[in-house]
Structures are given as C-alpha cells and as structure tokens.
Structure 1
Amino acid sequence: MENLIVGSRLSFLLFFFLFLFFDVVRPDIGEFDEYWKKRAEAARDEAHAAYNPDPIAATNDFNKAVHKALDKNETISSSSSSSSSSSRRGLWSLRRGRKKKYGGPCRATNPIDRCWRCRSDWAHHRKRLATCAKGFGRRAGGGRNGRFYVVTDPSDHDLVNPRPGTLRHAVIQTQPLWIVFARDMIIRLSEELIVNSYKTIDGRGARIHIAYGAQITIQFVHHIILHNLHIHDIKPGNGGMIRDSVNHYGFRTRSDGDAISIYGSSNIWIDHISMSNCADGLIDAIMGSTAITVSNCHMTNHDDVFLFGASDSYSEDALMQVTVAFNHFGRGLVQRMPRCRWGFVHVVNNDYTHWLMYAVGGSSHPTIVSQGNRYIAPPNRAAKEVTHRDYVGEWEWRNWHWRSEGDLMLNGAFFVQSGKKEFIRKYTKQDMIKAKPGTFVKRLTRFAGTLRCRVGRQC
C-alpha cells in the first residue's frame, strides 16, 4: 500500500512537471498531440545543428563582408560624404517617420543589398536572394529548392480548409515554396498564420501589407525567409481550429499580437520589413530559437520592439544566436531594441534615432556585442543610457559580456559595458576585423524597410 502511495505521488509529480514543461513550450497550442510533439523534437534537433560553437568567428565573417562591400562602393567615398548625408536626411519624413520615394540611381550600400538589389533582372532570378543573407541566419534557405507559388487572393476566411491562392494555403504546404504575389494586397489574417518549414514569403514586385489582423507565427520550423513586407496594426487572435499543415489542424489558444513570433525555430532571415504598431512585440524569438538574422528593417511607433528570450528560467535559450544589422529604429519607439536573455546577440551597424526608455537591454547574462551602431539619445536626461539591465545589481551584471566597439554616441548617449575587456580579442585571435564605425551607419541603413521593386527595374 505504501509503495502504491509513493508510486502515485511520483506519477503525480511527473505529470505536474510535464504539464509545466509543455505549458512553457507550447504557445497557443490547445492540444500538444503527437504531431506537435514530433514537430517540436525535430525543431530542437535543427536548432542544435544550427548553433555555431564559435559565434565570434561568425561576427568576424559578417564584418569582413561589410568592409569588402564598402571598399567597393564608390558612393561612400569621402568626397561624397556630405552629399550622402544630405540625401539620407531627405529620405525620411520627420513628421510621419516614413520613407520618401528615392528617385536616384540604385545604390546598394551594404553587403546584403549588394548581392541582389541593383540587378534589373532580379524578378527572373528571385531565388538569388537566398544566397545573400549574412550573420547567424545566413544559411536560411527558405523555399529555394521548391517551386513558385503565386498568391492571387488576399482573403483569409477558412482556417481549416484554406482556399487555394491564399497566403494561408501557401504557407501550410509541406514542400519548399517560394511565395510571391500577383498584385498589391492588404491581407487581414483572421487568426495567426502558422508557417511551415522551407518557405520564403517574397513581397517584391507588389506592395504587401499584412495588417489589421493576426500575426505571423514561425513555430517549431526551420529555413524561413520573410522579405519586403509591411506588417502593422497586428492584434491578438482569439484562437480556434486552425490548419498548420496539409496533414494536420488543431485547436489554438489566443495569440499575442506580435508582428512576427519565432518559437523554437532556426535558420530564420527577416529582411526589408517595415513594422509598426502591434499589440505585443514586433519580433519575438523565444524558446530555443537560433540562427536568426534581422536586417534592413524599419521600425516605428511601438513600445516593446524585439524580444530575444522570454523567460529568465529557460536556460535552453543559451543556444540563441541572433544578428541585428542595418536596421533603422525610427520614430515612436520606446524600448527593447532588442531585449535579450541567455544567448549571443550581434548588434551591428544599426541606426538608433529614437527611443524613450532605452535601446539595448536584457537579463540572465546574455552576451551582447554592439559594433558600429549610431545611438542618438532622446532629450530626456534620464534616458541617455543605451543599455538597461533587469532584476539584478551591478555585483552580478558586471560579469555579463556587453561590449561596445566603434559605436557613435550622440546627444549624450552612453553604453555601459561589462565583462572582461579582452572578451572579443580572446575569442577572435588574429582574425579580428572591426565593423565599420558608426559614422558609416547613415549610408549602410539608407534603404532600410520595404523597397519599391518593379519587374524589369532595379529595386
């Protein structure tokens, strides 16, 4: 009898901890069935395979590419510095924080754009884009090995049996797909859009707004590319029965209202996206996600911008590796650009022109390498510090590796470093090549956000 009681207690405890585990790692999944268990296990294996045991080497590769691109780009010579600066100022409407139309010749000012943007035949070689990523997400293949799928219908009415020609029908397919759009569209998602592995959503050649509805969810998948989309005014979903694959649908709970939610996924590249005004974050990457690059994006009018790691207790996020590069953090932003836990984040050559509280923050000892960014502090004297550490005193965070190299600090901005000063040199040996200094940022981020691409013309 006593053994029976002990066994019952052990069974109860096992069930209790399994319940807690799945409650943590199961966002919006109403029933964690065999399909989702297998998908989670496969995603975990992919994430561990995507993890780079030498992250500093990856940052060096990125920095080499920046130097090589800029050294070849005549538009950034010292003789054109003043004209480039004035052109950069003319790109933005200070009143609305929106890009003005650029009418000059194509100028690809960073190594990602130089790979594809100034080719007039880009529409005939769309998949070339998949070779252009840099940083930790550089291996994201998306739908490179699949056929093209043309979205012709912006509606999103049937969540269990999506209509062919809709974006939802495209992303649930099991085979690799390169998804493009037949014309300009505003797509209002009825509930979260659950994207399957090996998908590229390529908005070039049309103006695609995903707005006024639910979020894009990248959950327990790999090899995803999102490119040239407007994502804004996203709201929480109510959940319900939603198809996530041609072979499976199930009950989903309420979604958060992020622009893009990355959960337990790897090899992700998000490029040239314009994002604003969502109910939760703009990009959340959590629960063991890794091998991610966020590049050439433009963010405005939002509070919690990027969240990398959602829980101080989830140590599996130690394998998270993210590159944040060539982005413009624009008007109306408050904090979390990004806010990090556990992992390794390379923040390189971004333009921080606005924040209300802080720019880069974190907890649970993440490693943050900030190189060649431009930080323009707000007028508020209490918000001049770029960095913010949560929940702990200096006695603990002074050992976290947060380093700043070549950053341009303006209007009183300052970055509080921590960790050993030799940290970067320790891991780079003789291969260290610094990122371009912050004075180059205006040029590198000149075309951040969505591009106006027309077939037969350079973007």
Structure 2
Amino acid sequence: MAVAYLNLGSYVFAFLSLSLAIVALSVQAHIAVYDEYWTQRQTDALKQTMESYDPNPFNVTDHLNYHAALAMETTGSDNATRRELGEVGQKTKKRGGRHQSLNAIDKCWRGDKNWEKNRKKLTDCVLGFGQKTTGGKNGPIYVVTDASDDDLLNPKPGTLRYAVTRDRPLWIIFDRSMIIRLQQELIINSDKTIDGRGANVHITGGAGLTLQFVKNVIIHNIHIKTIIPGNGGLIRDSEHHFGHRTMSDGDGINIFGSTNVWIDHVSMTNCTDGMIDVIMGSTAITISNCHLTDHNEVMLFGAREGDVIDKKMQITVVFNHFGKRLVQRMPRARFGLVHVVNNDYTHWEMYAIGGNMNPTIISQGNRFIAPPKESCKQVTKREYTPYKEWKTWNWQSDRDYFVNGAYFVQSGRANAWSAAPENPIPKQFAIQPQPGTKVRRLTKDAGTLGCRPGKSC
C-alpha cells in the first residue's frame, strides 16, 4: 500500500518526506536514545498514517450514523416506548443486559450471554474512523495472572507488561480483578487487545499507557486513574528491544504516531497531564463509551502547530460521557478532522470543544449542558486565532441538544464538501445522526461494565 501512495505523485511523496523531517526533530519524546530500531518504527508508522487516512471521511461518518439509527430502530421494534426519553421501564434501570444495549457498538455484542467464549466478536463492533481495528484478534488469548510490575527490562511472564511487549498478536485478559501500579509507562506493541471484561482492573497510582509508532490496538473495559509521571530509565518496548526512556508526562493514554486504535468502555479519572493524547500523525482512531471525570485537560488531538502530519488525523469520539469536574479539551484539536457524535457533556468549567490550526469539527447529536457561569456557556473555543482566520474553519453543529444556555458557534460553510477538500464537511448529511435528546440513554452505560460469565454483559 505504501508504494501505491508514493506512486500517486510528487505531492504525497513530498508530504511524507516533510513529515518525516519534522517528526525527526520532535519525535524523541520519552526516547532518550533514538537508535536504528526507533528510526525504522517511525518510518513504518508514518507510511501507515498515509495508508490509513480516508480521503472520503463522509463515508465513515455516514456509516456510523446509519448503524446508530438502525440500532435504535431495532430496539424500538421490541418495545416502542423505550424510544422516548423518560419512558424507561423498571427493567431498563438495571445495568447490563441485551435490552439495555441501545447504541450501535454495544448492541453488536452485549446481548450474547456467551461473550466470554466469543470475546473476539468485539472486533466486529467498532465504528467510526477506527473501524478497521482488530487488535489481537489474529493471535491467542493471553491471561494476565500477576498484577506486579517490578522488572521493566525483563518483565515476568503473566504480567501485563510482559503481554503487551510481545512481537505477535495477543488478546490479553485477566484471571481476576486486580490493581496494577505501573512503575513506568506501559509501552504497548502492535496487534494487541487489552480486554478487562469479567474482572475489575484498575491501572492506578503510577504511570500510564503509551502507544508509540504502533498499529492495531484495542483498550477495553478497564479503569485508568490517578496517573503520575514516570521517571524513565531502561524499559522494554518490544520482545527483542529495550531502550532508555526519559520522564513520561503523566498521560492516561498517549497515542503517538499510531494508527487503527479503539478505546472503548474505559473509565478515566485524574491524570497528571492529559487523559487521552492523540498526536504526531496518529489517525484512524475511535474513542467510544468512555466515562471521564475529575480532570483539567481531557483530550488533546495534535500537540504542536508545526506537526503538519496531523492534517491526516481522523478521530471519532462517540457515545462518551464527559462527567463531573472536567474543565476543558473534550477535545482540543489542531489540524485534522474530528467527528464528535452522540456524547453527553454534563459538565465543563471553561469550554467543551476547542482548537486551532484549522481543524474540521463535525458535532452531531450531542447533549451539551452548560455550567451556571455565564462566561462559560459557549461550547466552542478557537484558541490563539482571530475571527478573520477562524471564520472559514469548518465547525458544524447538527441535531445537538443545548441545555442551560449552552451554544455552539459554527463557522465555515455547511456546503463546503467537494471531491478533494482540504477540510471536508459533507454537503448534506445523507444519514441523520441520532438527536441529542436521546444521548442520555445512548451513553448511560459509558465506562467500565460489570460483565459476568454466562450472563449478557
């Protein structure tokens, strides 16, 4: 595929070459010794970015909205009263169960009482820009039996660090509930699924998760909270390589130059830096069904104004609950395209969605509940940019639901769609999103699920 892109013409080749040069200057974040191994991983990752970029993003947003509508319609055929806000019967108050699964991702797998034996069915359910992510589907199941993280250079078999650094696909599960305190950042290799269903897994009190120059990773049904910076040192980053790392930032999940990533049903609280950072040419990413609380800078998509490779960034943020004591960046984007759809914004203290460097924001069917403070009612914030510049940015709101005085400042042209736009927005949405009035029900199970073997999750 990389050869095919290079043959498209001098523009793609020049863009990739420029991106490589730019990344070479700043990519050493956390890598103290930038050796041949990391140079090759960087080169491979940037080519993967070019291959994973979808030149027709409207097809992806339309596909998601179609399945969201279909899920609601099939649920309504079983019990039409469930389709209306406020008319939730006694049975639907219980967390879990097939009748509970109203959003399209959950409805795909949660009705199976044999989910434990069919864990890999999860890969059929991802929607949005990360829809091709399969994680460790093509590998065996690996069971984490040891919650320790004592040896960073030669991690013990049975630990999470041992599993994620293998050089082959693995579907990683846990034999029991456990609390894992990471001594240093957990560097996850390609083709991995971390699946916490059936256990109560907390990564807390230590460093966070790092996806650097990798592809095809799923992180599902775990708690990530109270994450602090790691001091660095010699850390294994793959089965046959280790290197010296500098101090980490304290991010919950840091996605760096990586593609095809799906984060689903993760509960996150109180990280030192960002909860989820997506930077340096990362693309083809879906963040779904997560519950986020108690944090300042929640999601950063694109870290620096000089990182032009982030023009290829495409991210879906769907069915998440942005909850109590959040301040800003839900998300904040530089460059790229972000589809923010059917999320519940119940709290923010400054703003909800922000950005600069001309990102495209498609906001569809979200519920925005503004805080009491009059100066913070606006959902959107264009940072460090005068109006004469940002007025052409394509930030569109469609079927959003605004409560308590919340409002979204649109910009650009709703009909700016073309065959090859720089910042595409559909001419019209062929498949309408689910309206923001339904979001409370679509996101009511956001965060980790209490899945039990033998029962619908």
Question: Paired residue for 1:77?
Answer: 80
Paired residue secondary structure (2:72): helix
Question: Paired residue for 2:173?
Answer: 180
Contact 1:76 1:84 in 2 (8 A): no
Q: Identify which of 441, 444, 447 aligns with 1:443.
A: 441
Shift of 1:118: 1.4
Question: Paired residue for 1:95?
Answer: none
Contact 1:70 1:76 in 2 (8 A): no
Q: Identify which of 37, 53, 56 aligns with 1:54.
A: 56
Q: After superposition, what is the alpha-carbon deviation per residue over 1:72-102, rounded to whole angstroms, capped at 9, x for unaligned?
A: 11377346635446989x97xxxxxxxxx73
Return the letter of the residue paired with 1:342.
F
Question: Paired residue for 1:219?
Answer: 212
Contact 1:172 1:196 in 2 (8 A): yes
Return the letter of the residue paired with 2:60.
A
Contact 1:136 1:322 in 2 (8 A): yes
Q: After superposition, what is the alpha-carbon deviation per residue over 1:379-403, rounded to whole angstroms, capped at 9, x for unaligned?
A: 0000000000111110000010000
Q: Distance in 2 between matches of 1:84 and 1:164?
A: 50
Contact 1:277 1:302 in 2 (8 A): yes
Q: Identify which of 246, 265, 269 aligns with 1:272.
A: 265
Q: Distance in 2 between matches of 1:105 and 1:217?
A: 33
Question: Paired residue for 2:317?
Answer: 324
Q: Distance in 2 between matches of 1:18 and 1:407?
A: 39
Q: Distance in 2 between matches of 1:361 and 1:22?
A: 27
Q: After superposition, what is the alpha-carbon deviation per residue over 1:238-274, rounded to whole angstroms, capped at 9, x for unaligned?
A: 0000000111001000000011000000000000000
Q: Distance in 2 between matches of 1:46 and 1:18?
A: 12
Q: Structure 1 pair 76/322, CA: closer, same or farther in 2 (3 Å)?
A: farther
1:232 aligns with 2:225: yes
Shift of 1:57: 1.4
Shift of 1:21: 4.8
Contact 1:362 1:388 in 2 (8 A): yes
**Does 218-227 or 79-88 show the bigger shift?**
79-88
1:412 aligns with 2:405: yes
**Aligned pairs, how many?**
433
Q: Structure 1 pair 136/434, CA: closer, same or farther in 2 (3 Å)?
A: same
Q: Distance in 1 between matches of 2:52 and 2:275?
A: 24
Contact 2:324 2:346 in 1 (8 A): yes
Paired residue secondary structure (2:102): coil
Return the letter of the residue paired with 1:263.
F
Contact 2:414 2:428 in 1 (8 A): no
Q: Percent identity?
A: 53
Q: Distance in 2 between matches of 1:212 and 1:21?
A: 31
Contact 1:320 1:343 in 2 (8 A): yes
Q: Pairwise mapping of residues 144-293 of structure 1 onto structure 2 (< 5 A)?
A: 144-293=137-286
**Does 204-213 or 78-87 show the bigger shift?**
78-87
Shift of 1:159: 0.3
Question: Paired residue for 1:140?
Answer: 133
* Structure 2 spans left out of the alignment, 5+ residues: 1-18, 419-423
Shift of 1:423: 2.8
Contact 2:360 2:425 in 1 (8 A): no
1:314 aligns with 2:334: no
Q: Distance in 1 between matches of 2:82 and 2:209?
A: 44
Contact 2:232 2:248 in 1 (8 A): yes
Q: Identify which of 19, 24, 35 aligns with 1:22.
A: 24
Q: Pairwise mapping of residues 75-154 of structure 1 onto structure 2 (< 5 A)?
A: 77-78=80-81, 81-84=84-87, 102=95, 106-154=99-147
Paired residue secondary structure (2:100): coil
Q: Identify which of 339, 345, 357 aligns with 2:338.
A: 345
Contact 2:23 2:307 in 1 (8 A): no
Name the larger-Rg structure.
Answer: 1
Q: Distance in 1 between matches of 2:276 and 2:137?
A: 24
Q: Pairwise mapping of residues 367-406 of structure 1 onto structure 2 (< 5 A)?
A: 367-406=360-399
Normalising by structure 2, we get a TM-score of 0.91
Contact 1:76 1:443 in 2 (8 A): no
* Structure 1 spans left out of the alignment, 5+ residues: 1-16, 92-100
**Does 20-29 or 172-181 show the bigger shift?**
20-29
Question: Paired residue for 1:14?
Answer: none
Q: Distance in 1 between matches of 2:88 and 2:250?
A: 36
Return the letter of the residue paired with 1:112.
I
Q: Structure 1 pair 430/333, CA: closer, same or farther in 2 (3 Å)?
A: closer
Q: Distance in 2 between matches of 1:323 and 1:26?
A: 27
Q: Distance in 1 between matches of 2:190 and 2:56?
A: 26
Q: Structure 1 pair 248/431, CA: closer, same or farther in 2 (3 Å)?
A: same
Contact 2:184 2:232 in 1 (8 A): yes
Q: After superposition, what is the alpha-carbon deviation per residue over 1:356-393, rounded to whole angstroms, capped at 9, x for unaligned?
A: 00000000000000000000000000000000011111
Contact 1:84 1:443 in 2 (8 A): no
Q: Distance in 2 between matches of 1:79 and 1:25?
A: 49
Paired residue secondary structure (2:362): strand
**Does 428-437 or 160-169 show the bigger shift?**
428-437
Q: Distance in 2 between matches of 1:80 and 1:434?
A: 16
Shift of 1:313: 1.5
Q: Distance in 2 between matches of 1:363 and 1:246?
A: 39
Contact 2:397 2:408 in 1 (8 A): yes
Paired residue secondary structure (1:241): strand
Return the letter of the residue paired with 1:113.
D
Q: Structure 1 pair 23/235, CA: closer, same or farther in 2 (3 Å)?
A: farther
Q: Structure 1 pair 27/457, CA: closer, same or farther in 2 (3 Å)?
A: same
Q: Distance in 1 between matches of 2:44 and 2:361?
A: 28
Contact 1:120 1:458 in 2 (8 A): yes
Shift of 1:432: 1.1
